[in-house]
Amino acid sequence: MRFMIIIKATPDTEGGVMPTSEQLAEMGRFNDTLIEAGVLLAAEGLRSEATRVRREGGRHVVFDGPFAESKESIAGFWLLQVKDRDEAIAWAQRIPLAEGEEVEIRQVQEVADFSADEMSQPYLDREQAWREATQKPIGR
């Protein structure tokens, strides 16, 4: 099962405040642990500049940030391949968060979660084949 652990944005992350060298080293050690365990598929921090695209009135409308509510934004993520939700939670509890920082855990929908019919099955099959070929844990 794949789970995304989402790092919630804070006023500091949205203001472009970069982590200290100590924080970067601590996060690096955590990422090394994920790699050594063979569960890390991806991990990225996200810049505070953002653009949103919304469908309105039959067309796509582009909105450039910054956006007022940092609680609606994300500062980064980990994508893990683990056996179940409990294992994802256990990893999240090891993240070196600062006081008040928060992460959210969401299970990634798998191709098998979608019901297929004659029209969608070829697309689902291609996506599954691509995932099997390209999505391997880092370090394996």
Contact indicator for 45, 76 with CB cutoff of 8 Å = yes
Contacts of 16 (CB under 8 A, 6+ apart): 47, 48
**Distance from C-alpha of 111 to C-alpha of 58, rounded to nearest angstrom:** 29
pLDDT for the residue 70: 58
Report pLDDT digits (tens) over 83-116.
999 999 999 999 999 888 899 999 998 877 877 7
Question: Checking phi first, is residue 113 left (phi over 0); if not, alpha (psi -120 to 50) or beta?
Answer: alpha
- The predicted model scores a pTM of 0.81
Contacts of 115 (CB under 8 A, 6+ apart): none
Report pLDDT digits (tens) over 17-36.
888 899 999 999 999 999 99
